[in-house]
């Protein structure tokens, strides 16, 4: 999710640096069991850096015990915040020619 998808991009592409994104909130059903399972599959440092860059505050370190309030906040960040990036230029784009 936080990695560049461009063909041939294999170096320095994780986590994906997102800049100038517009955030939109959408509603999604909360499932505590799903969030508990998902929590331990996350690369927390990459998630923290990305959310920090977007101005979304989460704890710098993953808590040892996740209570329901924490899981609801994490659910919001992961499932209810959509990113809209107006223009995305990959840093390894080849020269474009126009006719």
Say what the pLDDT of residue 75 is. Answer: 93
Residue 39 is assigned to a structural domain of this protein: yes
pLDDT digits (tens, 9 = 90+) for 19-56: 666 777 889 999 999 999 998 898 898 888 888 888 88
Say what the pLDDT of residue 47 is. Answer: 87
Domain count, the chain: 1
Residue 91 is assigned to a structural domain of this protein: no
Residue 64 is assigned to a structural domain of this protein: yes
Residue 62 is assigned to a structural domain of this protein: yes
Residue 3 is assigned to a structural domain of this protein: no
Give the domain extent around 58: 22-84
CB 6 within 8 Å of CB 90 = yes
Residue 32 is assigned to a structural domain of this protein: yes
Residue corresponding to tokens 């799903």 = 34
């Amino acid at each position: 999710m936080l990695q560049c998808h461009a063909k041939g991009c294999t170096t320095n592409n994780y986590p994906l640096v997102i800049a100038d994104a517009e955030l939109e909130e959408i509603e999604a059903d909360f499932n505590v069991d799903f969030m508990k399972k998902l929590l331990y599959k996350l690369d927390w440092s990459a998630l923290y850096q990305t959310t920090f860059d977007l101005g979304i505050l989460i704890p710098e370190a993953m808590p040892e015990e996740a209570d329901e309030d924490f899981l609801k906040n994490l659910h919001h960040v992961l499932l209810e915040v959509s990113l809209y990036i107006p223009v995305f230029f990959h840093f390894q784009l080849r020269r474009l020619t126009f006719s």
